[in-house]
Amino acid sequence: MMMMMMVIIIIIIIIIIIIIELNRADCGYQVHGTERKISHLLYKDDLKLLGRNESDLENEIKIVQTISKDINMNSGLEKCARICLKRGRVQRKVHLGSTF
């Protein structure tokens, strides 16, 4: 039981570090009428990265990859995809397992 609690605490700390670094990167969508930007959505073990452009998205992916590599954690990019939208229309889809 104690070991499981330690694992959960470690996972929470890792998630917090990733969120802090993503916020520090100043990437993401600007919320209209505010200074706030949204760069990611997190639910359980699912992380969605949001960028204004492909450069933002690349930067966010590198942040997650770097932190994952530093702690020897598999980021699971082989099962991820990148979808680029412009004015609500899909411009390009790329399966990350084939590009990273």
In the chain, where are the structural domains located? 2-98
More confident residue, 5 or 85: 5
Asked if residue 82 lies in contact with residue 93, where contact means CB atoms within 8 angstroms, the answer is: yes
3-state secondary structure of 92: strand
Asked if residue 78 lies in contact with residue 96, where contact means CB atoms within 8 angstroms, the answer is: yes
pTM score of the predicted model: 0.76
Lowest average pLDDT, out of 53-57, 72-76, 81-85, 96-100, goes to 96-100
Cβ neighbours around 23 below 10 Å, total: 13
Residues 70-91, mean pLDDT to the nearest whole number: 79
What pairs with residue 95 in β-bridges? 81
